[in-house]
Structure 1
Amino acid sequence: MSLWVAFTLLAAFMQSWRNAFQKRLSGSVDAYGVTLARFLWAGPMAVAWLATMYAIVPAPLPVLTLPLAGYVLGGAVAQIVATVLMITLFRMKGFATGVGLARSEALIAAILGVIVFGEHLSLMAWAGVVIGAIAVWIMKGIKQQNMPTGRTLLIGLGSGIFFALTTLSVRQATHLMPALPFLHAAGWVLAASIVFQTLILALWLGATRPATLTTLITRPGLSLPISLASFLGSLGWFNAVSLQQVALVKTLGQVEILITLLIARYWLKDPFTRRDITGLVLVSLAAVLVLWA
């Protein structure tokens, strides 16, 4: 098995559990507190991982340049913006359609990768990416009678674009450290991104929602599982995209849908639907095409 495939499967598995933990935490704190829980305890974990990598395989420190800093900070901010837009969607009319657009990250990343970063995908890879996007749309798209507004569609598309920019920025940042092994390069980007995101969100919540921040800090049992799952998921994503194109990683990563459905069925007791089964078949086909590509 290729390393990027292994890291992608790790990311998909842990992201599914992170989402399940977030769903449970949302009953105790607001949506912004749930967002911070992704990063609150993940920073120390990322720093410890990076230190472990250096202890096992000594390597030089990265040379900080303006482009490197720009990609790291830009990707971190893009992820915050994408998450805030996603949270906004859940309060809007016809939100499911917007979520379908937001989750079409692989297709958006493929388009942006070609246009902005000059990447190239084979015809089979494009087929897998497009089929994966259709699968997500079937499962996450229109599921309700309320028609989405133009604002809902724009916010959904904006969320998908910023999620794609996050991962593309991570890939570019890791490639700006060619003297480092890929595990070290991805580890630096991961640690810097999470620490930066934690500081921004903690300061903002401290100023606007101090009770939420206090709850997360004084009751680590609520947020620690989310932080752990988020750290391991990001570890998988960051290493995978340092080795392979973002569109292929994110398309294969849609196996998260299968894992999420299994968790929902057997842990959260939610039933399968015909729409779910159709989407799973298409996700499986997309994964096969991407692996062949």
Structure 2
Amino acid sequence: MWIFITLFAAACQSARTAYQNTLAREAGFLHATMARSLYGLPLVTLYLLAVWWLFGGVSLNGTMTFWWAASACALAQIFATYFMLRAFQSGSYAMGTLLAKTEAVLAALIGLPLLHYTLTFASWVGIGLGVFGAVVMTVKWRNVRHAYRDASLLFGLASGLCFAMTSVMASMASHALSGSIITSAGITLWFVLIVQSVILCSLQMVKMRDIQAPFKHEFRLSCQVGVLSSLGSIGWFTGFALVNPALVKTLGQIEILGTLYYSKVRFSEKLSKQQWLGGTMILISVILVVASTVK
């Protein structure tokens, strides 16, 4: 089940990231980051009502784990999205997206002490190969000595770290609730979007000195970003609740196909043999992870 959910989430995110990149160019980083939460909230609210009715409600376990984990998830995702959009502007669309894919191995490492998940040898190989494939696609080897000076590299890696924290915190928050794991994931996502919307809308209102600022820029494009983002997030958060987030994010790297398509067709970026090689490595990593988990 988690495999199909993750593939759906990756497809939605691939399209959403392309639209969000365009929105960032038209309306700025802050609005593009805010749109994915505020404009996605109505659809997620309807989804939560549906799963609550279908699968039943949830309750707190009497601890503070849900509140701090979900809040940390919300903040980490804000920074992850911001850093990824900055990577787009300082490098290329493909580079920004692919560097953020280091989140898979980072999620595995962060999740070990926090989630107590175990991984098979094949899973570790798949995760490592996927991250190395992303590096192959993005790093200019002749300039590797000065890679630390590359803004897109630094922003991409920062995005990967924050996305890894997002997935681990989302899993922790969902498992802190008692009841249906599907509903728990929906509650976590809904709470995260509420927190993000309040923070980002407030920042935009203060910056623009206009209470209607969140709704004045590229409304139609913002709605497209919000809908695609909410559909993708529903898939991601459900996947994080069902299995190890590292496996979900590694399989999610199938999104690379969409990234290459949008990079070449939508943004007219040329793809090198090195990038195609890295993409092939990522696809192999996905196959390894899926093969190691399917019984």
CA 1:54–1:287 in 2, change beyond 3 Å: closer, same or farther?
same
Relative to the length of structure 2, the TM-score reads 0.87
> Identity rate of aligned residues, in percent?
29
In the other structure, the counterpart of 2:12 is 14
Please give the secondary structure, in 2, of the residue aligned with 1:149.
helix
In the other structure, the counterpart of 2:241 is 242
Count of residues paired in the alignment: 290
Query: How big is the shift at 1:123?
Result: 0.6
Query: How big is the shift at 1:292?
Result: 1.4
- Report if the CA contact (8 A) 1:94-1:149 is conserved: no
Q: Deviations over 1:68-90 (max 9, x none)?
A: 10110011111112233334445
Query: How big is the shift at 1:120?
Result: 1.4
- Report if the CA contact (8 A) 2:94-2:260 is conserved: no
Q: Name the aligned partner's letter for residue 163 of structure 1.
A: F
CA 1:260–1:218 in 2, change beyond 3 Å: closer, same or farther?
closer
Report matched runs for 1:1-293 at 5 Å: 3-62=1-60, 65-89=63-87, 101-142=99-140, 145=143, 147-149=146-148, 152=151, 156-177=156-177, 179-210=178-209, 214=213, 216-217=215-216, 219-293=218-292
- Report if the CA contact (8 A) 1:98-1:141 is conserved: no
- Report if the CA contact (8 A) 1:93-1:149 is conserved: no
CA 1:97–1:19 in 2, change beyond 3 Å: closer, same or farther?
closer
CA 1:213–1:64 in 2, change beyond 3 Å: closer, same or farther?
farther
Supply the RMSD in Å over aligned alpha carbons.
2.9
Structure 2 Cα separation of the partners of residues 52 and 144 of structure 1: 53
CA 1:259–1:86 in 2, change beyond 3 Å: closer, same or farther?
closer
Query: How big is the shift at 1:124?
Result: 0.5
Structure 1 Cα separation of the partners of residues 81 and 26 of structure 2: 19
Q: Which runs of 5 or more structure 1 residues have no equivalent in the other structure?
A: none
Structure 1 Cα separation of the partners of residues 123 and 203 of structure 2: 41
Q: Name the aligned partner's letter for residue 225 of structure 1.
A: Q
CA 1:84–1:215 in 2, change beyond 3 Å: closer, same or farther?
closer
Q: Which runs of 5 or more structure 2 residues have no equivalent in the other structure?
A: none
Q: Name the aligned partner's letter for residue 123 of structure 2.
A: A
CA 1:20–1:96 in 2, change beyond 3 Å: closer, same or farther?
closer
Structure 1 Cα separation of the partners of residues 98 and 132 of structure 2: 9
- Report if the CA contact (8 A) 1:17-1:229 is conserved: yes
Query: How big is the shift at 1:166?
Result: 0.8
Relative to the length of structure 1, the TM-score reads 0.87
CA 1:139–1:209 in 2, change beyond 3 Å: closer, same or farther?
farther
CA 1:102–1:174 in 2, change beyond 3 Å: closer, same or farther?
same
Query: How big is the shift at 1:136?
Result: 1.0
- Report if the CA contact (8 A) 1:93-1:148 is conserved: no
CA 1:111–1:39 in 2, change beyond 3 Å: closer, same or farther?
same
Q: Deviations over 1:31-76 (max 9, x none)?
A: 1111111112111111111011123333344456311101100111
CA 1:48–1:167 in 2, change beyond 3 Å: closer, same or farther?
same
Structure 2 Cα separation of the partners of residues 9 and 266 of structure 1: 22
Q: Deviations over 1:121-180 (max 9, x none)?
A: 111000000000011112233388593336956655443222111100001111112x32
Structure 2 Cα separation of the partners of residues 23 and 158 of structure 1: 17
